[in-house]
């Protein structure tokens, strides 16, 4: 089955830029979606279709892809951005189901 690989953790100082990566075979031809999950809360969608932001999500959140890696970029990081971030795609193989990455814990120093 399809596997999405994320780094377990990323640390960044306030005001700096955080980049969370998501790797997968041929991810360049898939649409990647990103979720933010704060402790004790349900995930919320922050990026869909690789780089689109739902209404209410700050412009500081952006998405991109290059080669076999998708990246969630958070500019001017704030303390409130500390959370787990998950990428997600559709597995078009014989399994044909939706797959999440293992998640990345973003720590704001």
Partner 1 sequence: QVQLQESGPGLVKPSETLSLTCTVSGGSVSSYYWSWIRQPPGKGLEWIGYIYDSGSTNYNPSLKSRVTISEDTSKNEVSLKVRSVTAGDTAVYYCARHHFIAATGTGWFDPWGQGTLVTVSS
Among 77, 103, 106, 108, binds partner 1 (CB under 8 A): 103
For the CB of residue 51, give the shortest distance to partner 1 in the complex, in Å. Answer: 13
Q: Are 59 and 74 in contact (CB under 8 A)?
A: no
Residue from 25, 43, 16 nearest 109 by CA: 16
Residue from 28, 37, 69, 62 nearest 48 by CA: 62
Extract the tokens encoding 81.
């951005």
Number of residues in contact with partner 1 under rule CB under 8 A = 27
Determine the interface stretch with partner 1 among 17-25, 58-66, 68-76, 89-97 (rule: CB under 8 A): 89-97
Q: Are strands 9-12 and 104-108 parallel, antiparallel or unpaired?
A: parallel
Residue 56 contacts partner 1 per CB under 8 A? no
Return the residues of window 22-51 that contact partner 1 according to CB under 8 A. 30-31, 33, 35, 41-45, 48-49
Extract the tokens encoding 83.
């959370």
Residues that bind partner 1 (CB under 8 A): 1, 30-31, 33, 35, 41-45, 48-49, 54, 86, 88-90, 92, 95-103
């Amino acid at each position: 089955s399809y596997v999405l690989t994320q780094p377990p953790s990323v640390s960044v100082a306030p005001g700096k830029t955080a980049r969370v990566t998501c790797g997968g075979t041929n991810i360049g031809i898939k649409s990647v979606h990103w979720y933010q999950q704060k402790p004790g809360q349900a995930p919320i969608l922050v990026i869909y279709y690789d780089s689109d932001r739902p209404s209410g999500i700050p412009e500081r959140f952006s998405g991109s892809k290059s080669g076999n890696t998708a990246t969630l970029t958070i500019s001017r990081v704030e303390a409130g951005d500390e959370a787990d971030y998950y990428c997600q795609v559709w597995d078009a193989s014989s399994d044909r189901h939706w797959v999440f990455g293992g998640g990345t814990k973003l720590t704001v120093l």
